[in-house]
Chain A
Amino acid sequence: MTAAIGAWLDDRLRVRAVRDFLAHKLVPVERSIWYYFGGVSLFLFGVQVATGILLLLYYRPAPDSAFESVRFIMGHVRFGWLVRSVHAWAANLMIAGVFTHFFSVFFLKAYRPPREVTWLTGCGLLGCTLAFGFSGYLLPWNQLAFFATKVGTDIVGEVPVVGPALRFVLRGGENVGGATLTRFFGFHVALLPLATTLLLLVHLALVQLHGMSEPQGGRRRPVRHMPFYPHFVLREALVWLAVLGVLVVLATFFPWELGEKADPFASAPSGIRPEWYFTFMSQTFKYVPARLFGLEGEQVAILGFAAIFALLVLVPFLDRRAARGEPSPLVTAGGVLLLGFMVVMTLLAYLKPY
């Protein structure tokens, strides 16, 4: 009976082809944790889709009901506190996971040919992840979110030439208000999920096409391989299970707070700070003087960050040494410098607020 159903399915779905493919797919045996963060990010994206859909059943995107609907989810909906807390914590873990994946691929030089397009789609996914974080942060319509969005969209507005128009479109008007909330809601639940899914499909297809990147140079040759299924799948499953454990513990014992409802006519609260993944930028803005090189200070800072991001995106085409299979210590040093800068600025923001 089972065999008959199996044969019926195989005739229609070619299940055996998939099974054969999985049985023959090999991945490098690498005892390094860095190989798992792409999968971890994928897992957390799945968690976000699931909990996000659940939140959509109760959330209302309008200035006079958004905060109240999130409070209702947390206070009255059964397990609402858990769903919302898991969504908020998984968002932070996902950003951490994507950053870790990004930097591990960077330092392992896995962007070298033929994986340049995989790197580019990965950069797009990093951008989508940060945009998810920024747009989702506003949705509970609390005081911190309101000012984070005000500052964040004003930073966009400082971009020379196109900035003011872009800020106008992002905000849905001159100021952050109800129009901004509905727009960010649309980005967060429709536009970004679509863009992320499309990029993710290409990204994963390319990972299949090229296989996993193997360590550079001759230091650890010959590289041993193991079957993708079940060996690697089981290991990855174990890591996902551990991440799920961490997520549930965090969400249960450190429930995500809601804060105070946004009031456009109140002062920004002292000690205000964006989410940790934007803090290094915010802290940099504090140190940049009002005027620099004949431009406004924040414009110089924005152009600087844009230049760094452009260098990161284009690194597969700039790092000619890695492309030839040689070590490229200069690129590594640049990455270390950037990571160090991000860590120091973030620490400064937390240890010495003013």
Chain B
Amino acid sequence: MANEDGLSRRRLINWLLSLGSGSLLGVLLYPIIRYVTPADQPEAAVGTAVVGPLRDFPPGSGKVVRFGDRPAIVVRLTGGELRAFSAVCTHLGCTVQYRKDLELIWCPCHNGRFDLTGRNVAGPPPRPLEAFEVAVRGDQVVVSRRA
């Protein structure tokens, strides 16, 4: 009986020790994991951005501008119409550029191509570029997120 008692006591102690060390490990690791995970910043959900005077956007050109914490691209067609898209490539997140020679929006990282409506037309991008509203107020070009 004593032997059995000893055995079960040993088992209990082992169990308690494992539980204790497991909990200690958890208590040590939890704050570290929380520390390493960046705090949720309130998303800088910029709705509207003034991106510059109209003369900076001559017909048949495109320019990357700041839209909140991300880049956007404003394209002015040869006819004079303005269009704006997110400049973040939908493939792997490089910043796209306007190619006058191709009349396309192009990503140099993996040769992704978008037409001037933002549609992915060639290369690896899986989705079109997010389109923004663009308007002229006074002589300033204003880009805003679509409602």
B110 near A175 with CB under 8 A, answer: no
A264 near B108 with CB under 8 A, answer: no
A154 near B64 with CB under 8 A, answer: no
Residues of A within 8 A of B100 (CB): none
Residues of B within 8 A of A168 (CB): 37-38
| Those of A37-74 within 8 Å (CB) of chain B | none
Indicate whether B66 reaches chain A with its CB closer than 8 angstroms: yes
What interface size band does chain B fall in? 20 to 34
B36 near A290 with CB under 8 A, answer: no
Residues of B within 8 A of A174 (CB): 43, 69
**Contacts between chains A and B (CB distance < 8 A), count:** 84
Indicate whether A336 reaches chain B with its CB closer than 8 angstroms: no
What residue in chain A is nearest B66 (Cβ atoms)? A265
Indicate whether B111 reaches chain A with its CB closer than 8 angstroms: yes
- Cα separation A272 to B92 with both chains bound (whole Å): 13
Total interface residues on A, using CB and 8 Å? 34
A265, A267, A282: the one within 8 Å of B110 (CB): A282
A173, A282, A291: the one within 8 Å of B41 (CB): A173
User: Residue-by-residue, is B21-58 near A (CB-CB < 8 Å gives 1, otherwise 0)?
Assistant: 00000000000000011100101000000000000000
A267 near B95 with CB under 8 A, answer: yes
A154-B93, A155-B92 given; A265·B65 CB < 8 A = yes
| Those of B109-139 within 8 Å (CB) of chain A | 109-111, 120, 123-126
Indicate whether B91 reaches chain A with its CB closer than 8 angstroms: yes
- Cα separation A270 to B107 with both chains bound (whole Å): 8
Interface class of chain B by DSSP: loop
A179 near B124 with CB under 8 A, answer: no
Indicate whether B12 reaches chain A with its CB closer than 8 angstroms: no
- Cα separation A30 to B87 with both chains bound (whole Å): 57
Residues of A within 8 A of B123 (CB): 286, 290
Residues of A within 8 A of B109 (CB): 147, 151, 268, 272, 282
Indicate whether B96 reaches chain A with its CB closer than 8 angstroms: yes
Residues of B within 8 A of A286 (CB): 110-111, 123-124
Q: How far is the CB of A290 from chain B (nearest CB, A)?
A: 4
Indicate whether A218 reaches chain B with its CB closer than 8 angstroms: no
B41 near A150 with CB under 8 A, answer: no
What residue in chain A is nearest B125 (Cβ atoms)? A290
Indicate whether B70 reaches chain A with its CB closer than 8 angstroms: yes
B92 near A298 with CB under 8 A, answer: yes
| Those of A273-290 within 8 Å (CB) of chain B | 282, 285-286, 288-290
Indicate whether B97 reaches chain A with its CB closer than 8 angstroms: yes
A169, A266, A270: the one within 8 Å of B64 (CB): A266
The interface of chain B, by Cβ under 8 A from chain A, is 36-38, 41, 43, 64-66, 69-71, 87, 91-97, 107-111, 120, 123-126
